[in-house]
Structure 1
Amino acid sequence: MRTTYTALIIPSRLAEPIRVESVEPGLRPLQSLVGGDIEDITRGDWRVFLNAEGVANNLPRNLRAAQLMDDCGLDLAGVARGTAVFLGRGDYGQEADAPGTLIRRAEQMFDTRLVA
């Protein structure tokens, strides 16, 4: 079993850079990244983890994550609040590395070079 996975992390604050980093799988590390309980949305070969109380707690909208999800065919602009953590979707619902195609799309959309 792997101990870390490559994640695409998109903070809601525009002043904070989008980054790719290694994260430990599991509930606690993901809760730490999003700042509370998590909810996940699956689309194709990736999953995005968000703060489950983002709307209720009026967390800042995550315009970049919403734009990336919209570009991938998922319109959740009102739900994308707080930090968004993108991982891949592995076998049996397990985490996997964020797909390279998703990372490259984020690089193109936000004119940045992302490296793990």
Structure 2
Amino acid sequence: MARIKESSTNYANKQALANECPEVYASNIIGGQWALAICCYLVNGKQRFGELKKCLPNITERMLTLQLRKLEESKVVKRTVYAEVPLRVEYELTPIGYELKTIIHALGKWGQKHKAL
């Protein structure tokens, strides 16, 4: 995954646009195929890492980990670790993450309609 250096002009332009346009800001958080797909599965409830991996068979474990961390940093996903043997970790949408539910459903309807054209 290519990262934009914080000193680059591209990064500065991206930040300026995100500051001016809340839609771009939101898109930067859930944009990309994996982040949105993860949210789509978590909108139905808690999932363990392995369960998410089964839902997204083409994602690498490293990419899934990176995307979950990014969503956690953005306060969209909550990670809960249970002190059990073996260790159990669950991921779920935060209250602000659950607000994406109507958006995800609307995107799904739009996608089905557009795909049928």
User: Is TM (by shorter chain) over 0.5?
Assistant: no
TM normalised by structure 1 equals: 0.32
TM normalised by structure 2 equals: 0.32
Based on CA coordinates, which of the two structures has the bigger radius of gyration?
Answer: 2
Greater per-residue helix proportion: 2
Structure with more contact order per residue of length (Cα contacts < 8 Å, sep ≥ 6): 1
